[in-house]
Amino acid sequence: MESTLISLLHGFSVALQPDNLWYAFIGCLVGTLVGVLPGIGPLSGISILLPVTFGLNATQAVIMLAGIYYGSQYGGSTTSILMRIPGEASSVMTCIDGNAMAKKGRAGAALCIAAVGSWIAGTFGIIMLTLIAPPLATIALRFGPPEYTALLVLGLIFLAYMSSTSLVRTLLMACIGLMLGMIGIDNMTGHFRYSFGLAELGDGIGIVPVAVGLFGLGEILATPSHKVVGEVIAPKLRELLPSRQEWREASMPIARGSVLGFIIGIIPGSAHIISSFLSYALEKRISKRPEEFGKGAVAGVAGPEAANNSASTGAFVPMLALGIPTGPITAVLIGALMIHGVPAGPQLVSDHPDVFWGFVASMYVGNLMLLALNLPLVGLFVSLLRIPYAYLYPLIIMFCVIGVYEVSHSIVDVWIMLIMGVFGYALRKFNFDPAPLVLGLVIAPIFEQSLRQSLIMSNGNYLIFFSRPISLGLVIVSIGLLALSALAFVLNRKDWRTKLAEAEVGKTP
Amino acid sequence: MDRRSFVIGTTASAAALAASPAFAQETFPSHAITIVNAFPPGGANDLVTRPLASALEQTIRQPVVVETKAGAGGQVGAQVAASAKPDGYTLLSHNNGISGYAEVDKLFDRQPKTTRADFIPLARLIADPVLLLVNSQQPYTTVKDFIDDAKKRPEAIVYSSGGLYGATHLPVALFEKATGVPKLRHLPTNGGGPAITALLGNNAQASTQTVSATLQHVKSGKLRALASFGATRSKALPDVPTLKELGYNVEYYLWVGIFAPKGTPPQIVSTLSTAIDKAANTDAFKSAIANLGLDIGYLNAKDFAAFWDADAKRADDAVKTIGRVQG
């Protein structure tokens, strides 16, 4: 503990050197921009800037590139809240309640809560990273295919809490999402499924084009059909800040989101994407007023935003402690370190303490910088909403097209986005919520793969899910949740979903 | 304007138009060159191609842009490059995968999207030998232990790969064929990183992965390298025997090469290969590769073409050995 503190102080002495501060700042600034521009994700930002770091030393390079990564997690919420366009998969959930808050004139409050929540979660993540990285990393390694399967089963059960419409509609959307997730090469046999001869569909349908199409484009297409209330939301400076009530509603979700996000973030693989989905579902599950979700609930912004930031920090645990990439972004960071002759892995802390502790300390500093960068920008971003729709929306469509193309340089992705935009329009008209569809799309490929991998490992024996402690624990939680719902059904208690369904029936003529 | 001057003028401008492509060829390159990288950022292709691109900018005196077109195990990028205009301004960075697609497609009665004939090899940049690795919790310390146990318990040992018919799946098939062990149980994942993670977590007991990707874990004792698929022992791991030494005729490398699309004019091909040759011999490129823990396996266009022929035969052979997987 004491030695950790001394090492960390040494790290700060590295991170606070003027040139290192400068590179952290550049990274955070680029990250914020990358996050704000819809579609242009941190992955393309980092790989484009990778050659620029060839002239720097390893510490500077990793400080700057990591700044882009966690900086983009801050910026990602901006377009979600203001325009309902998720910059990346992890900000899908912020779209729903963040944008609803913006429509109620609380855009500034939503942005502030997202920024502060991100800062708290980011800092929490780094403290955990500093204190318990090595033991946690060993647990992360135990997370094999069976544990993944159990986690995703839990995720699927949480689906019921995802949506602001009735259970039937939610499950219908989820099924469409799961089916879309089947598209692509079957990893186990090499067959192409539903790819229609397009090599681009071999890796399946991307989450970003679908999310941008369903949420962003669908919203824009729907605008002309309802009466636009001509008034522009022009909040006063004082109204930009969240009220005391809103802070109170945000505090516990931020705390829970931070812990949940960090735990999910350290799991190798693509689990970090579902952290914001799970946090949203969790908040809705334990909320006293679940019917408010989807209509501008503060907790629906605070929880998921905290979770995705804390997950992005958690992703550094296996990367730094074991040299294992948790996803494509950490893979690029490991590559960047290797190009500078610093192999990431168990020896990183002992062989290159300057790099390791300098990097960790720079994240404390970087998170503060991001808060300082983002809070003053809130006013500026909100004033974007003053631009009349006639000018703003064509611009947004342009950014969506460029952004989606930029993710994997694929014109097929742009078509997917456009088709999903039309589909999203139809869903809005018929009052379906697209969020469960996106979650289904995220879960399907990972779920299928890990289930089949587990069965390969056990030679077809399903008991593998009960014989490993972590997966057994997750299965028990799943069963418990199902039992609770069954109990409510048996006792014939109406919960909010039944009420919603009844309201829907009542509404339809 | 009378008729004569009209005719002369037209002929002259036609001649000028006809001449201009020839002129452009002489001054190749006149604008930026794009190298299509068929694999995602962070992988070996990306890490090797980017330093090459920056070294190439110096030797060819034009900007060199790396554009990622990843997907479908590298097929998307290969297809993009194959259908690009063969004018030398679009090149392809690819690896072993480029050899086996046609054979895999044949297996599934599919029309191959690209074949080897669609590309002109320009240079091989690296060749990273593959290691036979086991998790250190496993009892095996020699290849013989491993083979004996595999024979005793067929289909019981699980090995991870980065994907079906991929660059880390094929060497296992070659190994099985050469040593005569019955099939090991295959755990496909989606990429080299996840395959190593599965091995580190002991969810798979064995795997064939490159020296550069696993050196850290071998040194820290989490993984044990039983043998190398290289022709000679790796400098980084001099104690690990090669399979050839042990009497098994297997050789396998993960290599990264640069290609031009079929139909690129010969002068341009030779300009490019000369420039790549110079770039690959710069200190900047060499030190970048050394930092990655890779041995430079540079081969010029001619040697690479010969190597590629031999290597593609090995890949085809391995794909046939694996056959169609029953799912």
Q: Give this complex's ipTM.
A: 0.78
Average pLDDT score over chain B:
86
Residue B25 has pLDDT above 50, yes or no: no
| CA end-to-end span of chain B | 77
Taking CB atoms and an 8 Å limit, are B163 and A187 in contact across chains? yes
Residue B192 has pLDDT above 90, yes or no: no
Chain B residues in contact with A183 by the CB 8 A cut-off are none
Q: Answer yes or no: are the C-beta atoms of A221 and A425 closer than 8 Å.
A: yes
Taking CB atoms and an 8 Å limit, are B41 and A328 in contact across chains? yes
Chain-centre distance of CA A132, in angstroms? 23
Question: Is the CB of residue B286 less than 8 Å away from at least one CB of chain A?
Answer: no
Q: Is A287 helix (H, G, I), strand (E, B) or coil?
A: coil
Best mutation target among B197, B256, B326 (most A Cβ atoms within 10 Å) is B197
Residue B136 has pLDDT above 50, yes or no: yes
Strands (E), A101-250: 184-185, 192-193
Angle in degrees, CA A259, A267, A347, rounded to 5: 105
Q: Which of A144, A202, A325 sits opposite B198 (nearest CB)?
A: A144
Best mutation target among B106, B159, B170, B203 (most A Cβ atoms within 10 Å) is B203
* Contacts with A, B 212-251, CB within 8 Å: 215-217, 219-220, 222
Q: Which of B46, B75, B185 sits opposite A199 (nearest CB)?
A: B75
Q: Answer yes or no: are the C-beta atoms of B279 and B256 closer than 8 Å.
A: no
Taking CB atoms and an 8 Å limit, are A202 and B79 in contact across chains? no
Lowest mean pLDDT across A308-317, B14-23, B263-272: B14-23
CA distance B73 to B83: 18
Q: Is B295 helix (H, G, I), strand (E, B) or coil?
A: coil
> Residue B19: which pLDDT band, with cuts at 50, 70 and 90?
very low
CA distance B160 to B244: 23
* DSSP character at residue A189: T
CATH of domain B31-127+254-322: 3.40.190.150
Question: What average pLDDT does the segment B56-82 reach?
Answer: 86
| pLDDT, tens only, B110-124 | 888 888 999 999 999
CA-based nearest residue in chain B for residue A58? B291
Chain B residues in contact with A144 by the CB 8 A cut-off are 198, 201, 203
CA distance A303 to A278: 9
Which pLDDT score, from 0 to 100, does residue A1 have? 59
Instruction: Sort A347 into a burial class: Cβ within 10 Å, 0-12 / 13-18 / 19+.
Output: middle
- Where exactly are the structural domains of chain B? 31-127+254-322, 129-228
Q: How far is A346 from chain B (nearest CA, A)?
A: 7
Residue, of A290 and B299, whose pLDDT is higher: B299
CA distance B300 to A207: 41
Taking CB atoms and an 8 Å limit, are B50 and A191 in contact across chains? no
Best mutation target among A48, A182, A409 (most B Cβ atoms within 10 Å) is A409
pTM of the model: 0.81
Chain B residues in contact with A465 by the CB 8 A cut-off are none
A-B contacts (CB, under 8 Å): 149
In this prediction, the residues of chain A whose per-residue pLDDT falls under 50 are 230-232, 508-509
Lowest mean pLDDT across A63-67, A250-254, B202-206, B255-259: A63-67
* DSSP character at residue B242: B
Residue, of B176 and A47, whose pLDDT is higher: B176
Angle in degrees, CA A113, A119, A122, rounded to 5: 130
CA-based nearest residue in chain B for residue A141? B201
Q: Ranked by mean pLDDT, which of A262-271, A442-451, B9-18, B271-280 comes out on top? A: B271-280
Which pLDDT score, from 0 to 100, does residue A355 have? 86
Taking CB atoms and an 8 Å limit, are B292 and A339 in contact across chains? yes
Which residue is associated with the tokens 């014989």?
A: A467
Phi-psi region of B252 (alpha: psi -120 to 50; beta: other; left: phi over 0): beta
Cα B308 to Cα A30, B24, B77, B107, B123: the distances in Å are 42, 31, 19, 21, 10
Taking CB atoms and an 8 Å limit, are A51 and B50 in contact across chains? yes
Residue, of B59 and B293, whose pLDDT is higher: B59
Which pLDDT score, from 0 to 100, does residue A492 have? 64
Residue B14 has pLDDT above 70, yes or no: no
Q: How far is A223 from chain B (nearest CA, A)?
A: 35
Question: What average pLDDT does the segment B271-295 reach?
Answer: 89
Q: Is A413 helix (H, G, I), strand (E, B) or coil?
A: helix
Which pLDDT score, from 0 to 100, does residue A229 have? 52
Asked whether the domain spanning B129-228 has the same topology as the one spanning B31-127+254-322, the reply is yes
Cα A475 to Cα A152, A259, A270, A466, B35: the distances in Å are 10, 20, 20, 8, 47
Q: What are phi and psi of B207, to 5 degrees?
A: -165, 155
The amino acid occupying position B303 is: D
**Which residues on neighbouring strands pair with residue B119, listed in sequence order?**
B261
CA distance A243 to A249: 10
Q: How far is B22 from chain A (nearest CA, A)?
A: 32
Taking CB atoms and an 8 Å limit, are A269 and B194 in contact across chains? yes
Q: How far is A205 from chain B (nearest CA, A)?
A: 11
Which pLDDT score, from 0 to 100, does residue A40 have? 63
| CA end-to-end span of chain A | 67
Task: For chain B, state the CA radius of gyration.
Answer: 23
Question: What average pLDDT does the segment B133-139 reach?
Answer: 95
Q: Answer yes or no: are the C-beta atoms of A270 and A446 closer than 8 Å.
A: yes
**Which residues on neighbouring strands pair with residue A297, listed in sequence order?**
none
Question: Is the CB of residue B183 less than 8 Å away from at least one CB of chain A?
Answer: no
Q: Which of A199, A338, A453 sits opposite B187 (nearest CB)?
A: A453
| pLDDT, tens only, A168-183 | 888 899 999 999 999 9
> Residue B290: which pLDDT band, with cuts at 50, 70 and 90?
confident
Angle in degrees, CA A177, A183, A186, rounded to 5: 125
Residue B267 has pLDDT above 70, yes or no: yes
Superfamily of domain B129-228: Periplasmic binding protein-like II (3.40.190.10)
Lowest mean pLDDT across A379-388, A476-485, B130-139, B154-163: A379-388
Question: Is the CB of residue B189 less than 8 Å away from at least one CB of chain A?
Answer: yes
Question: Is the CB of residue B94 less than 8 Å away from at least one CB of chain A?
Answer: no
Chain B residues in contact with A43 by the CB 8 A cut-off are 41
Cα A293 to Cα B30, B220, B265: the distances in Å are 58, 49, 63
CA distance A112 to A371: 9
Best mutation target among A457, A458, A470 (most B Cβ atoms within 10 Å) is A457
Instruction: Sort A357 into a burial class: Cβ within 10 Å, 0-12 / 13-18 / 19+.
Output: buried
Residue B26 has pLDDT above 60, yes or no: no
Strands (E), chain B: 33-37, 64-68, 90-95, 119-135, 158-161, 185-188, 206-210, 223-228, 253-261, 296-299
Question: What average pLDDT does the segment B80-105 reach?
Answer: 89
Taking CB atoms and an 8 Å limit, are B187 and A331 in contact across chains? no
Chain B residues in contact with A269 by the CB 8 A cut-off are 194, 197
Q: Is B224 helix (H, G, I), strand (E, B) or coil?
A: strand
CA-based nearest residue in chain A for residue B155? A459
Question: Is the CB of residue B58 less than 8 Å away from at least one CB of chain A?
Answer: no
Residue B6 has pLDDT above 70, yes or no: no
**Which residues on neighbouring strands pair with residue B76, listed in sequence order?**
none
Which residue is associated with the tokens 């611009």?
A: A395
Which pLDDT score, from 0 to 100, does residue A503 have? 67
Q: How far is B249 from chain A (nearest CA, A)?
A: 28
| pLDDT, tens only, A27-77 | 998 888 877 765 566 777 787 777 777 778 888 888 898 888 888 877 778
Question: Is the CB of residue B57 less than 8 Å away from at least one CB of chain A?
Answer: no
Taking CB atoms and an 8 Å limit, are A339 and B163 in contact across chains? no
**Which residue blocks in B211-265 are alpha helix, DSSP H?**
211-219
